[in-house]
A = this chain, B = another copy of it.
Amino acid sequence: MHEKGIITLNEVSKERLITMISKKMQDYVQNSSVIRAMFEEGKRLAKIHGAENVFDFSLGNPNVEPPEEVKNTILEIMNAEAPMNVHGYMNNSGYEEVREAVAKSINKKFGTDFDQNNILMTVGAGGGLNVIFKTLLDPGDEVITFAPFFGEYRSYVANYDGILVIVSPNTVDFQPNLIEFKERITPKTKAVIINSPNNPTGVIYSEETLIMLASIMREKQQEFGTDIYLVSDEPYRELAYDAMEVPYPTKYYENTIIGYSFSKSLSLPGERIGYLVIPREAADYENIISAANIANRILGFVNAPSLFQRVIARCLDAKVDIDTYNRNRELLYNGLVSYGYECIKPEGAFYMFVKAPMESDVEFCALAKSKNILIVPGTSFGCPGYVRIAYCVAYDTIKKALPGFKALIDELKTV
């Protein structure tokens, strides 16, 4: 009996075998993110061996605390401001004064000339990239990226039925392979996505690279009569070592759109706060900014989280203590190189991209797991034969993991 329609668990039919989820999602469920699986694996190993004996280098989760300003600003806002002003709706693009503050801060740092109408506050860089691809891509449109690249670009482009075209890696210095790039641009190329400082290599794309990239893109725009947008994904912009400069791409190429995030610069990855920069020089600027604003709404973001919009606006000059990451970088790099690993020294971010000392990067990662070391195969980044080590971990974790790394390469030499 269904008393008043109330159902109970045991009445439910369970025999259905076909899946109810969409075809697109079926593939995802089957190939569920290697990186996230590692994260879960790390927690599992930690339960068995104790957290202090598992060396989890698998996830780009900042381990340096947010600068003191963040906490102080939150307390200040909560104590001084009207709650409706802090937690309410605003324009889908974000608070006007927040966007103005962001624009001014960029102008001060890079000599640009943006105002609030060039800024759209987003739910992190992941939100921003989805907004811009929703805005730009028709089914079948091509987006070019350079291996190695952040694996999520595959999904972000596929979400809008675009095609991700991957330029093969230049393993000499991990600057983009511009010769192949030129050949891969077609009349269907709608955008090019770059990420510098790069995940997974830590390499900063040089000014020379940006100039050549821009020149090739302009030439192809001319040839095909199209506009090709350069989407610059910049969550690691503030994490550059040895006072290296990270060139600002809008200065080199007119059709540039910047995707920024405070996840790493202020160690706020869980808060989902970032922005897009859409310059007036970009072709069809007016329509792009309107469409991006609507895309932010209809994709369900609606707006970037409101309290953290207010927080970052007052913390634009703050950044995390990069020295901590730098000490990790030196310890890990010097250690690995002294054992015989081949690796380019990262210039930014908190990743090291190391040549696997055997043919298969996937097998090497499995081998490393036997030493309780969790690292990610380069295959996930479109660059087999390498592994990514995320060194946003305690200094001590690196210190204690180094003997494991040494043992791994020594054992492989012996074979």
Contacts and interface: CB of A to CB of B under 8 A. Distances in A.
A152 B303 contact: no
Interface residues of A, number: 101
A126 B89 CA distance: 13
- The main secondary structure of chain A at its interface with chain B is helix
A242 to B, nearest CB: 21
A333 interface: no
Contacts of A172: none
B302 A137 contact: no
Contacts of A268: 87
Interface stretch (A174-182, A284-292, A364-372, A403-411): A284-292
A130 interface: yes
A258 to B, nearest CB: 15
Given A29-B287, A291-B28, A136 B302 contact: no
A72 to B, nearest CB: 9
A21 B65 contact: no
Most buried by B among A70, A130, A134: A134
Interface of A: 4-7, 9, 11-13, 16, 19-26, 28-29, 32-33, 36, 59, 61-63, 65-66, 70-71, 74-75, 78-79, 83-84, 86-90, 92, 113, 123-124, 126-131, 134-138, 141, 152, 155-156, 159-160, 207, 210-211, 214-215, 227, 229, 251-254, 267-272, 280-281, 283-284, 287-288, 290-291, 294-295, 297-303, 305-309
5 contacts: A7-B253, A25-B295, A29-B290, A87-B267, A123-B302
